[in-house]
Amino acid sequence: MIDTDQAVHEDATEQAQPTPQMETGEPVATESTPDEPKAVEPKIPEPKLTKKRADELALKVEAALLTTDRPMTAAKLSDLLGEVGTKAIFDAAEQLNTVYEKSGRSFRIEKVAGGLQVLTLPAYANVLSELHKNRAQTRLSPAAMETLAIVAYQQPIMRAQIESIRGVACGEVLRSLMERHMVKIVGRAEEIGRPMLYGTTKGFLEVFGLAGIKDLPKVEKSKVPHL
């Protein structure tokens, strides 16, 4: 037979045993359920504009771009015009370019230095060259063009490396390019003395009508300046 008094005593003894927290004073690790994954808010697509609204937006984008000589980002145009997203801005630029092409206009809206800008077609370069022949700031000497090409294709690059490729000192040429806001210091090399590293600027992209460095003309490897 089971002694009920003894069983009750044993149960009471077990219940009175101190927990690990009581013995050590440290909290006891307990199994925790993994956090529930946070719900990801679905990306709301931009509402599609009606034809009338799209035509109105295209005219506003055109007006904004024609009154500035600097590239404007789609985000800035979106903020300026209000209640439209960047996709609508790019769609408006494509719509305008279609109209320009069909009507034989001498210009297009191009992506330049991360923004949009109205540029004339290459076929009319001679006209503009004659018109702006006195704008000395856009003319570069052969030495400056050579140095600029090396920086553009090899950036980031040290002055010593540029001089090694060209075979001549280029301190003055680099200074001139920096004054024209076409070259800038982009960091320092992990070498003794921490020499400065040079790279091109947004001004360089604007002058040459490039959206980014990846749009530099492709050349044969044998013709690319190298160290």
- Domain end point (choices 66, 98, 125): 125
Q: Over its length of 227 residues, how does the chain's per-residue pLDDT go in tens digits?
A: 445 454 444 444 444 454 444 444 444 444 444 455 555 454 555 667 788 888 999 999 999 999 888 899 999 999 988 878 899 999 999 999 999 999 999 999 999 988 999 999 989 888 877 766 655 455 788 999 999 999 999 999 999 999 999 999 999 999 999 999 999 999 999 988 899 999 999 989 988 888 889 889 887 655 555 55
Q: Which two tokens stand for residue 108?
A: 């297009």
- Domain end point (choices 125, 157, 184): 125
- Nearest alpha carbon to residue 146 among 225, 218, 213: 225
Q: What is the pTM of this model?
A: 0.52
Cα angle 122-127-132, degrees, rounded to a multiple of 5: 105
CATH assignment at residue 184: 1.10.10.10
pLDDT of amino acid 138: 56
* Burial 67-100, CB ≥16 within 10 A → b, else e: eeeebbebeebbeebeebeeebbbbbbebbeeeb
- Domain end point (choices 66, 96, 125): 125
